[in-house]
Chain A
Amino acid sequence: MNWPLFWKSILILTLAGYSLLVIFVISGGIKNIIDMLKDLKSETPQ
């Protein structure tokens, strides 16, 4: 087995996959936070 090539592929996959995940989570997460606070606020007695 060509270990250096294998680990090289894993490293590229990790860096690329994580970069994409970060972009998705940041863009979707902000909306999620607003919705979550709305949910919690609507349950809070005024």
Chain B
Amino acid sequence: MDVFSTNFRTIDWIIVTIYICIPVVIGIMVRKYVRHLSDFIVAGRSLRLFIAIATLTGTELGLVTVMYNAELGFKHGLSAFHIGIIETVCILAIGLTGFIVYKLRQLRILTIPEFYEMRFGKNVRVIGGILLTLGGILNMGLFLQAGARFMMGVTGYSHPAGLKLFMSAMLIMVLIYTVLGGMISVVLNDFLQFVVLSAGMLIGSYFAIKTIGWNDLFKAPATVDALSWFNPLAEGSGFGSSYVLFMVILTFSAGALWQSGTLRALSAKTPQVAKQLYAWGSISYLARRVIPMLWGICAFIFVSRSPQLLAAFQGPDALNAQYGMPLFIAKILPSGFLGLIAAGMFAAFMSTHDSYLLSWSSVITQDIIAPLRKRGLSDKGRIFITRICIVSIGIFLLIWGLWFEAPVSLWNYMAVTGTIYLAGAFTVVTAGLYWKKASKIGATIALFAGLLAILGIGPWTQGENVPVYLTDKFIGLITFLVAFLGMIIGSLLFPDKTEQKEDSL
């Protein structure tokens, strides 16, 4: 069986081409509604529950999400499902209690660092903005690469220049409609993409299960260790107890404070809608993990049944495991359906990219450039700078995606880069909202502590034979702990001299 032979035909190209033109048209049509900065960044805070769920799902279920979860399923089997369960429970807990998101929405802020200034002053806002941007942009550094790999796998296009071509074309499409319409455009496209993507995921799951067989899906392939295929705590599963603990802290903090997701809560019509959004959205969070993992698992079982395919993924010249899932679905889905799935996944790619570009650009404008300018910035000026930032980040992503190849799974790369921001942000926002004694110095220490997560990148090149205390998961846990202790010790030793603004929050 030829590895790159797929069922992708002319009709599939036509479906994908028509589909990717729609967001651009929407971007142009809704441009007239963008008058204020809040229209551009939080859609005038007009999101009601269902559209908020659709746009949250559209953002948090990107093509990169599908790719890294499928990769986890491909590499680790059913044991990878545990991450989905952990994340779902965390999101549900946030939704039921309103922890962090309810209060943030009440404050009517546009970005998370805006809260830093309210509570801890301008300097903390700028530091927080810089670290958020650093972690956030690095975090999305491989989105474009993963998306292009998916399109190459599905279309069967294996030309050496394919990665560059797909990355460039995909980026240009997203930039056009995000720059034009801002959040209003993003929300409308997210809804459309939610519909297409959800249909694609459910149809794809049907074909994947049908190909592998329902009963065979729950049997470990002969080529893997049966225990570690099912049990995330088993030795050899690639996870273990410290990884599970890291996932609990990471997914809880990301659920509450990942700027692109939190932006949906800040865009909600009322704080109550923000809370409901998380409670109902928890089902989406389960699906965004489990369904792509299912595809990855089916892909591995499929590959393990063919010696030729199995050989392509083993040995020194092995194909990147990220190709496993797209090649699998491109071989089992009939032409026509494949175009719909590719369009759905492309939709997922765009819906995540637009929101992330908008999130990090608005942080640069609102939390770094605007506070540092002595003269104020008009709404028009801020929208212009945000648009410039969107394009600049896009160019960076193109260069980074072409140059950098993560020696670990995509998810581990994202977990480490995400921790740079999350460890500090989670500690600072939680303490700022719920602890009267939290001080500027404590907040600054906690934010800088997030940089410790970078140490987790070093051991990546050393393979699996590194001591536990040098693994990225252990360093990730320590980063959260240091940020937490830094906030407590810093606040107790160096309390703020001026009266806290907390009463007004």
Q: Which residues of A contact B48 (CB under 8 A)?
A: 32, 35-36
Which residues does chain A contribute within 8 Å of B287, judged by CB atoms?
Answer: 14, 17-18, 21
Q: Do the beta carbons of B284 and A40 come within 8 Å of each other?
A: no
Min CB–CB distance B209 → chain A (angstroms): 9
- Across-interface contacts of B194 in A (CB, < 8 A): 22, 25-26, 29
Partner of B46, one of A28, A31, A39: A39
Question: Do B218 and A40 have beta carbons less than 8 Å apart?
Answer: no
Q: Is the CB of A21 within 8 A of B202?
A: no
A10 touches B51 (CB 8 A): no
B46–A36 CB distance below 8 A: yes
B374 in contact (CB, < 8 A): no
Which chain B residues border A3 with CB–CB below 8 Å?
78, 230-231
Tally chain B residues at the interface, Cβ within 8 Å. 43
Report the minimum CB–CB distance from A37 to chain B (whole Å): 7
Contact for A11 among B187, B283, B294, CB less than 8 A: B294
Whether B46 pairs with A10 at a CB distance below 8 angstroms is: no
Report the bound CA distance from A32 to B46 in whole Å.
9
**A4-B230, A33-B188, A36-B187 in contact; A25/B50 too (CB < 8 A)?**
yes
B218 touches A7 (CB 8 A): yes
Nearest-Cβ distance from residue B159 to partner chain A, whole angstroms: 36
Query: Contacts A15-B205, A33-B51: A44 and B32 contacting too (C-beta < 8 A)?
Result: yes
Residue with the highest number of chain B CB atoms closer than 10 Å, among A17, A40, A44: A40
Please determine whether A18 and B198 come into contact, CB atoms closer than 8 angstroms.
Answer: yes
* B261-305 interface bits toward A, Cβ cutoff 8 Å, 1 = contact, 0 = none: 000000000000000000010011011001100100000000000
Which of chain A's residues has its CB closest to B230's CB? A3
Q: How far does the alpha carbon of A14 sit from the alpha carbon of B202 in the complex, in Å?
A: 11
Partner of A21, one of B46, B84, B283: B283
User: Complex: how many Å from CA A27 to CA B198?
Assistant: 14
Any A CB within 8 A of the CB of B44: yes
Looking across the interface, which residue of chain A has its beta carbon closest to that of B289? A14
- Residues B53 and A7 in contact, CB atoms below 8 Å apart: no
Distance between A15 CB and nearest chain B CB, rounded to angstroms: 6
Question: Would A32 and B51 count as touching, CB distance under 8 A?
Answer: yes
Check: B124 CB closer than 8 A to any chain A CB: no
With the chains together, A35 CA to B286 CA distance in Å? 29
Contact with A along B347-384 (1 / 0, CB 8 A): 00000000000000000000000000000000000000
Given the complex of chains A and B, what is the CA–CA distance between A34 and B219 in angstroms? 48
B51 in contact with A40 (CB, 8 Å): no
Instruction: Give Cα A8–Cα B52 distance, bound, in whole angstroms.
Output: 30
Partner of A14, one of B50, B198, B290: B290
Cross-interface CB contact of A43 among B44, B187, B231, cutoff 8 Å: B44
Question: Which residues on A sit within 8 Å (CB–CB) of B35?
Answer: 43-45
Contact B230 A33 (CB under 8 A): no
B329: Cβ under 8 A from any A Cβ: no
| B47-83 contact mask (Cβ, 8 Å, vs A): 1 or 0 | 1111111100100000000000000000000100100
| CB-contacts of B182-237 with A (<8 A) | 184, 187-188, 191, 194-195, 198-199, 201-202, 205, 218-219, 230-231
Q: Are B50 and A24 in contact (CB under 8 A)?
A: yes
Q: Check A44/B33 contact, CB under 8 A, given A17-B287, A18-B287, A22-B198.
A: yes
B39 in the interface (beta carbon within 8 A): yes
Residues of B within 8 A of A7 (CB): 78, 81, 218, 230
A37 CB contacts on chain B under 8 angstroms:
33
Question: Whole-angstrom distance from the CB of A20 to the nearest CB of chain B?
Answer: 8
Q: Give the nearest-CB partner of A45 in chain B.
A: B35
CA distance A29 to B35 in the complex (A): 24
- B43 CB-CB contact with A under 8 Å: yes
Min C-beta distance of A14 to chain B, whole Å: 4
Contact at A15–B202, with CB atoms within 8 Å?
yes
Contacting residues, chain B, for A33 (C-beta < 8 A): 51, 188, 191
Interface check B85, CB cutoff 8 A: yes
Closest residue of B by beta carbon distance from A33: B51
Q: A7-B78, A7-B81, A18-B198 are in contact. Are A40 and B53 (CB under 8 A)?
A: no
A to B CB contacts below 8 Å, 11 in the list: A4-B78, A4-B218, A4-B219, A7-B78, A7-B81, A14-B84, A18-B286, A21-B284, A36-B51, A41-B33, A44-B33
Given contacts A10-B85, A18-B291, A31-B50, 15 further A-B contacts (CB under 8 A): A13-B286, A14-B286, A18-B202, A21-B53, A21-B287, A22-B195, A24-B50, A25-B50, A28-B49, A29-B191, A32-B50, A36-B46, A36-B48, A36-B51, A40-B46
**Interface set of A (CB-CB < 8 Å, partner B):** 3-4, 7-8, 10-11, 13-15, 17-19, 21-22, 24-29, 31-33, 35-37, 39-41, 43-45
